Structures are given as C-alpha cells and as structure tokens.
C-alpha cells in the first residue's frame, strides 16, 4: 500500500489561556491528523509530502514535545515549581513519562526549571511569613521533590543571607504561641520550681516547637526565652 500523502494543511487555534497554533493535516487516505504547527515545521513537512508510518510517529513525538513544553510553561506562569512538581502535573495530564523527562531537561538547560531557585524562594517566604525550623523546612522542600542535600544547603545559605539564626526563628514562633495562650498556661510556664502544671506548659510549648521543625539548641533556647519573657 502506498504511503498517505498530505493534500492540505488547515490552520487552527487551540483554546486556552495561551492559545497555540495548531494545524489539521488532511491526507489522501485516512483520518486527518491534528498537531502543533511547530511540530510540522520541525520536520519540514508540507503539502505534497508523503507521510509513511515512521514519519507520522516522528511527527506525533514532536507534537508531544511541543505540548509538554507549552503545558509546563503554562504551569510555571502561575507560580514557580520544582522539576518533580512539574513532572507530577504533566503525568496527570496524560503525557508519557518517556517524553516528559527530555522536555524538562530542555527547560532546565534554559534555566526555566531551577530547583535551587525555587527552594530558595520558598525558604525566604517561610522566614518572612511562617517561620519554621530547619527540620520542617527540609521536610517541606523534600515534599516538593527537592533533593535532601540541596534542601539543606539552600536553607543554610538563605539563613546566612538573611542574617537570621534558627534561634531567631524559634523566638518568633514562641512569641506567636504566647499571644494565643491563656493566663493559666502562661503563669504555669513562668512559675519557679517544679510542678505538674509548669511541666505540662513546657511540654505544650516544646511540642509546638518540635512540630514546627525546631530541635536541639534552638528548641532549648526558645523555651528559655519564653520563660524569660514571661518573667520580665
């Protein structure tokens, strides 16, 4: 059987927030084929050209690459995302993993996908609006697909650049906790000596700090600061 031949290329415009030029390829046999105009141009295919099965597959692969790139750029237009977040989103849109990864490689090479930059922006936002300890920050970055070593390095670099210590962050968290507590809890925390009420109040505060990612010296110092503040 002879290969199908392209008889007409019809220009379309897809719907969406960023309409992309698409074409419908009409052939002398078989159903029309709809692809991105860019895919057609990449393969230098036009009216009068034959479209054997292998060439058709190449065209469909090129179309998939264009659609993956455009879908990723559309996602990035709403907010910065990590490579892993983009990959998950693209998979849910039905794109094949075998085409997603090379597409993200190309965007990464252009600097449009940058996990380090996304991680740094996320940490800065947390420092300013929702302070967290290093452990919690690292956990949150890992849920975004950031490698653990990158997460730790970025956290340290951002804290240094912002001239903020983990103890500073813990103190801010403690201030917020104190404002939300009742008089009984605060009096028990500030009391001298050992009592069941005082230990209960300390456990509540330290549990709150632990859930927000504070450990070790930062946790101990923040607890001491809370007592000092209440006794002042």
Please provide the average confidence, as pLDDT, over all residues in the chain. 92
What is the band of 20 on the pLDDT scale with cuts at 50, 70, 90? low
Q: If we measure between CA atoms, which residue out of 200, 113, 187, 127 comes closest to residue 158?
A: 127
CB 94 within 8 A of CB 37: no
**How would residue 98 be classed by pLDDT, with cut points 50, 70 and 90?**
very high
Question: Which pLDDT tens digit goes with each residue over 32-83?
Answer: 999 999 999 999 999 999 999 999 999 999 999 999 999 999 999 999 999 9
Return the pLDDT at 138: 97
The two three-digit tokens of residue 160, written as one number: 């240094």
166 compared with 3, residue with greater pLDDT? 166
Rounded Cα gap, residues 8 and 28, in angstroms: 9
User: Each residue of 102-144: pLDDT tens digit?
Assistant: 999 999 999 999 999 999 999 999 999 999 999 999 999 999 9
Handedness of CA 92, 97, 100, 101 (dihedral sign): positive
Place of tokens 């920050």: 137
pLDDT higher than 80, residue 232: no
The answer, yes or no, to whether residue 12 has pLDDT greater than 90, is no
d(CA 77, CA 73): 6
Q: Is-contact 34 25, C-beta < 8 A? A: yes
Angle at 231 between CA 226 and CA 232, to 5 degrees: 100
pLDDT, residue 21, reads: 86
Q: What CA–CA distance (Å, rounded) separates 90 from 69?
A: 10
Whole-angstrom distance, CA of residue 58 vs CA of residue 177? 60
The pLDDT tens digits of the residues spanning 181-230 come to 999 999 999 988 788 999 999 999 999 999 999 999 999 999 998 898 88
Contact (CB, 8 A) for 141 and 82: no
How many Å apart are CA 63 and CA 35, to the nearest integer? 6
- Dihedral angle, C-alpha 27, 29, 31, 36, nearest 10 °: -20
Whether the per-residue pLDDT at 14 is higher than 80: the answer is no
């Amino acid at each position: 059987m002879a290969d199908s031949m392209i008889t007409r290329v019809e220009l379309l415009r897809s719907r969406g927030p960023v309409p992309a030029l698409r074409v419908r390829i009409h052939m002398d046999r078989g159903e029309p084929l709809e692809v991105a105009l860019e895919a057609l141009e990449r393969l230098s295919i036009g009216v009068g050209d034959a479209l054997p099965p292998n060439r058709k597959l190449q065209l469909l692969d090129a179309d998939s690459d264009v659609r993956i790139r455009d879908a990723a750029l559309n996602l990035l237009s709403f907010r910065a995302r990590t490579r892993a977040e983009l990959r998950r989103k693209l998979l849910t849109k039905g794109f094949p993993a075998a085409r997603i990864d090379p597409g993200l490689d190309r965007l990464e090479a252009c600097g449009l996908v940058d996990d380090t930059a996304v991680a740094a922006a996320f940490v800065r936002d947390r420092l300013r609006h929702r302070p967290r300890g290093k452990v919690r920050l690292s956990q949150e970055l890992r849920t975004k697909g950031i490698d653990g070593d990158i997460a730790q390095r970025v956290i340290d670099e951002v804290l240094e650049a912002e001239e903020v210590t983990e103890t500073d962050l813990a103190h801010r968290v403690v201030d917020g906790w104190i404002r939300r507590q009742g008089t009984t809890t605060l009096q028990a925390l500030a009391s001298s000596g050992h009592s069941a009420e005082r230990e209960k109040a300390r456990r509540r505060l330290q549990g709150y700090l632990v859930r927000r990612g504070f450990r070790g010296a930062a946790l101990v110092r923040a607890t001491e600061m809370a007592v000092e503040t209440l006794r002042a």
